[in-house]
């Protein structure tokens, strides 16, 4: 399973967004992580669809759109139209009887459906949907704010998610988001994560290319070790 680095545009310099996207590409990013916050599901408001549309026009990198919003299902058509590649919805933002329908609609629209788990949400919440998911996002901070401290106590959840997926959907990726950098990526990778959202540690590093390369190397070594000791 390939290690992928997803710099988070929430940490970019928005006064020079095109330059920041180009910098992420040059640094070796595998995708760009776009946090959409509505001020309802989370207390902050970030950027929306007009910004994502413009980003899609200037990059060939996949756009990993993290919907920290209530009622994400109403936006699936517009997300497909503006160029989203992966759409992540939160397990507790949608009523259980609607969540499967929302994830299926994402897939039918040609995008990868992903399910996010906030810190209080257990790994078992993915069970009804595990077979249709392309990715599970385990939040390693509370969603809604950048620059938070990595929650190491989420690593048992990452392992549980990996065990579930190994049984029913072994090609499904596990993403972690929150406080990921050179000091924390190995712990998350050894637990079974292979996609890493990196905000401050990428865009605000002295050398973004060097930071992305170092984070990737640490993740690759730790991920292989984690799979060997299972």
**What are the residues facing 88 on neighbouring strands?**
66, 114
Give the active site residue among 13, 30, 35, 131: 35
Give the active site residue among 30, 38, 64, 177: 177
DSSP per-residue letters across 167-189 = HH-TT-EEEEESS-STTTHHHHH
Neighbour-count burial of 171, counting CB atoms closer than 10 A to its CB (0-12 exposed, 13-18 middle, 19+ buried): exposed
Supply 127's token pair. 């069970």
Question: Which 8-state DSSP code applies to residue 131?
Answer: G
Please indicate whether residue 97 is annotated as part of the active site. no
Supply 111's token pair. 């995008």
Residue 17's H or E segment, with its range, is helix 17-26
Contacts for 230 with CB less than 8 Å, ≥ 6 apart:
none
What residues are labeled active site? Answer: 35, 177
């Amino acid at each position: 399973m390939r290690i992928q680095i997803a710099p988070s545009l929430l940490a970019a310099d928005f006064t020079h967004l095109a330059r920041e996207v180009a910098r992420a590409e040059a640094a070796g990013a595998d995708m760009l992580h776009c946090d959409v916050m509505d001020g309802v599901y989370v207390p902050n408001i970030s950027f929306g669809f007009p910004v994502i549309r413009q980003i899609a026009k200037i990059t060939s990198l996949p756009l990993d759109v993290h919907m920290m919003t209530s009622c994400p299902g109403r936006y699936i058509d517009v997300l497909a139209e503006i160029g989203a590649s992966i759409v992540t919805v939160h397990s507790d933002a949608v009523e259980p009887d609607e969540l499967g329908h929302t994830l299926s609609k994402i897939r039918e629209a040609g995008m990868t459906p992903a399910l996010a788990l906030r810190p209080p949400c257990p790994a078992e919440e993915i069970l009804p949907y595990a077979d249709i998911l392309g990715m599970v996002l385990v939040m390693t901070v509370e969603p809604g704010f950048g620059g938070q401290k990595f929650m190491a106590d989420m690593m048992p959840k990452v392992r549980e998610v990996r065990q579930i997926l190994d049984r029913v959907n072994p090609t499904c990726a596990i993403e972690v988001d929150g406080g990921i950098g050179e000091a924390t990526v190995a712990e998350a990778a050894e637990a079974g994560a292979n996609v890493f959202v990196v905000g401050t540690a990428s865009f605000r590093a002295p050398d973004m290319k060097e930071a992305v390369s170092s984070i990737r190397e640490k993740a690759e070594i730790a991920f292989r070790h984690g799979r060997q000791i299972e």
